[in-house]
Amino acid sequence: MTDLADATRHLLCQRIHRFVLVLERFRRNPNRREAYHILSAIELLREGRYEAGLEAVRAAEHVAPIPDGLALLPGLHDDMTAVELRQALRAEVRPASTTEATGTAAEAGK
């Protein structure tokens, strides 16, 4: 990855984290729209489409409508909790961190 892509990925992770943190601070779960857009941002993070992910976070912050074709369809976003959003983000961010931490700990033990 380039430095710009790394910085944009980090920014996207921070924005998602902050959004979930605010939900937790106010002890509330996301509504359908917020959950849809944050889940989209996490999926775009997984795909490496960081700019589109930032747009999805902005949509969640503004509680933008769910796209017309998907608004009436049931989905994961219907009953999502803040804890589940945090777990989804953690699952996406931790694998790379865990591998690096494990490798570093193994080297330190030598």
**How much is the pTM?**
0.80
Nearest to 33 by CA among 58, 3, 2, 14: 58
pLDDT recorded at residue 91? 93
Residues 6 or more apart whose CB falls under 8 angstroms from that of 55 comprise none
Residue 16, exposed/middle/buried by CB under 10 A (0-12, 13-18, 19+)? buried
Tokens coding 35: 């959950």
The pLDDT tens digits of the residues spanning 4-62 come to 889 999 999 999 999 999 999 999 999 999 999 999 999 999 999 999 999 999 999 99
The span from the CA of 49 to the CA of 12, in Å, is 10
Which 8-state DSSP code applies to residue 38?
H
